[in-house]
């Protein structure tokens, strides 16, 4: 422990880094870590749930709080149940599903009231998932190797970006999609290929180095899209013929990238075999999805999510709707039959091309989509299209920047429907809009990702009369 000084006397003592401690977990923080206190010092504990007594190692320490990783459950919580998946992609599987729903609802309310200092809204019951397992239509796996060099293809353990946990079966995707994952792994082992050494990522790697595998499935169409992500390599470094023979899918791609970050976005993507876009059906519409385009990861629950957005938008057939961060246009096209016109904006040009093609394929004639940065293109959109009656916004996890919030306020829609994948960023955004004269009316969580701490919700804000 560090010595007490006049500057530190008022603060709880901090444990040493890498110290092993015994903790009782009191609650779950947003993001899924347990909250415990050691002599008054707050520790966020990976791998523990409320009620657990654990032995943990301190992995990070700051002035106000630290982080720890559970090494052993000494006394399990009364809520704890046995896990069924052998991988770290389902960290909340040790909680009964009903308890997961309760916690997610509590965390949405806590974010809005404590972070946003909001009140007077109706927090409606969470929409439970239709399938608690094998619900994902897309999964991103990482290649890695253990100490004896055996190649694996799975997920990173919590807090270990440099390691990949062995995986027998992934219970978050369909059996066919998981069979494709295993086929690629077996092919790579037979080829004698190696994974990127993430601890030496900045150094040049000789030969073909495997980074990731992205598997995406059309849940309604049955189509499968597989994308192999590697480091930079010449065309002849990959035995395309053997890979095509090994994998049963409708579209097979190869992405080469020299990015340092652990991401599957960017790089140069080549179609090796099959069709260039996966087809999927959603809300009675057909969508073509290119490899890097955003599409909600749970098809069945995306329909429930968009139904809530449509309910909150309360369209009567005459409104001008802006669909911001529109992706491939799924929300805007689902609203188009009840709107006067829809204008979609998305920064990824390939996604906009998908949206335009999907509008044409579904004979939707009152929707237009444009490539642009919402932050810089809003004023131009208002000048071109006219002021919106309703804005639907579906931002990334970081939420809306202050500049984008100001542009929404300038556009002065009567109603804003905010589709959020992060209540801790929804809360301050909603507070800014409330301060500008909007009222937060209703919020409804939707469980898109069972067995994980991720939370989606829809909020509606109306402009004061």
- Strands 20-28 and 53-61 turn out to be antiparallel
> Can you tell me the distance from the alpha carbon of 37 to that of 149, in angstroms, rounded to the nearest whole number?
40
Handedness of CA 380, 381, 386, 390 (dihedral sign): negative
Helix (H) or strand (E) holding 122: strand 122-123
Q: How many CB atoms lie within 10 A of CB 300?
A: 17
Give me the half-sphere count of Cα atoms (radius 13 Å) on the Cβ side of residue 63: 5
Q: Is 421 a catalytic residue?
A: yes
Among the listed residues 170, 249, 421, 457, the single catalytic one is 421
Tokens representing 12? 């709880």
> Can you tell me the distance from the alpha carbon of 438 to that of 411, in angstroms, rounded to the nearest whole number?
13
> Can you tell me the distance from the alpha carbon of 271 to that of 253, in angstroms, rounded to the nearest whole number?
5
For residue 224, what are the β-bridge partners?
A: 217
Handedness of CA 14, 15, 18, 24 (dihedral sign): negative
3-state secondary structure 184-239: HHHHHHHHCCEECCHHHCCCCCCCCEEEEEEEEECCCCCCEEEEEEECCCCHHHCC
Give me the half-sphere count of Cα atoms (radius 13 Å) on the Cβ side of residue 7: 2
What are the residue numbers of the active site? 421
């Amino acid at each position: 422990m560090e010595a007490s000084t006049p500057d530190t006397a008022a603060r709880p003592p901090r444990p040493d880094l890498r110290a092993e401690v015994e903790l009782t977990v009191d609650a779950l923080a947003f993001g899924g870590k347990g909250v415990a206190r050691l002599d008054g010092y707050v520790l966020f504990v990976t791998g523990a749930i409320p009620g657990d007594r654990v032995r943990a190692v301190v992995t990070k320490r700051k002035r106000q709080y630290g982080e720890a990783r559970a090494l052993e459950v000494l006394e399990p919580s009364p809520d704890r149940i046995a896990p069924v998946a052998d991988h770290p992609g389902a960290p909340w599987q040790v909680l009964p599903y009903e308890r997961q729903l309760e916690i997610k609802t509590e965390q949405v309310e806590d974010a809005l009231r404590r972070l946003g200092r909001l009140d007077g809204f109706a927090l409606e019951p969470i929409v439970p998932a239709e399938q608690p397992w094998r619900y994902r239509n897309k999964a991103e796996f990482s290649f890695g190797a253990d100490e004896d060099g055996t190649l694996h293809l799975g997920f990173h353990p919590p807090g270990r970006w440099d390691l990949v946990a062995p995986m027998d079966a992934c219970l978050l995707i369909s059996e066919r999609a998981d069979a494709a994952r295993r086929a690629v792994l077996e092919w790579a082992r037979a080829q004698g290929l190696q994974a990127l050494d993430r601890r030496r990522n900045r150094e040049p790697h000789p030969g073909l180095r495997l980074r990731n595998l992205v598997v995406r499935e059309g849940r309604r169409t049955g189509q499968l899209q597989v994308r192999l992500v590697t480091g930079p390599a010449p065309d002849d470094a990959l035995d395309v013929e053997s890979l095509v023979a090994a994998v049963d899918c409708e579209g097979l791609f190869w992405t080469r990238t020299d990015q340092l970050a652990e991401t599957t976005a960017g790089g140069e993507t080549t179609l090796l075999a099959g069709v260039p876009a996966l087809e999927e059906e959603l809300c009675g519409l057909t969508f073509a999805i290119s490899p890097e385009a955003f599409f909600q990861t749970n098809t069945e629950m995306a329909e429930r999510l968009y139904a809530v957005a449509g309910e909150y938008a309360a369209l009567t057939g005459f409104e001008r709707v802006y669909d911001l961060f529109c992706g491939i246009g799924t929300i805007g096209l689902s609203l188009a039959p009840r709107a006067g016109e829809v204008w979609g904006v998305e920064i990824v040009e390939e996604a906009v091309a998908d949206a335009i093609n999907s509008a044409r394929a579904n004979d939707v004639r009152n929707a237009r989509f444009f490539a642009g940065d919402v932050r810089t293109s809003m004023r131009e959109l208002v000048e071109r299209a006219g002021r919106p009656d309703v804005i639907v916004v579906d931002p990334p996890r970081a939420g809306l920047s202050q500049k984008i919030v100001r542009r929404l306020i300038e556009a002065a829609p009567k109603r804003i429907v905010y589709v959020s994948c992060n209540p801790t960023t929804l809360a301050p955004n909603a507070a800014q809009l409330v301060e500008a004269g909007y009222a937060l009316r209703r919020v409804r969580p939707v469980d898109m990702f069972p067995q994980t701490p991720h939370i989606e919700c829809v909020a509606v804000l109306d402009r004061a009369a």
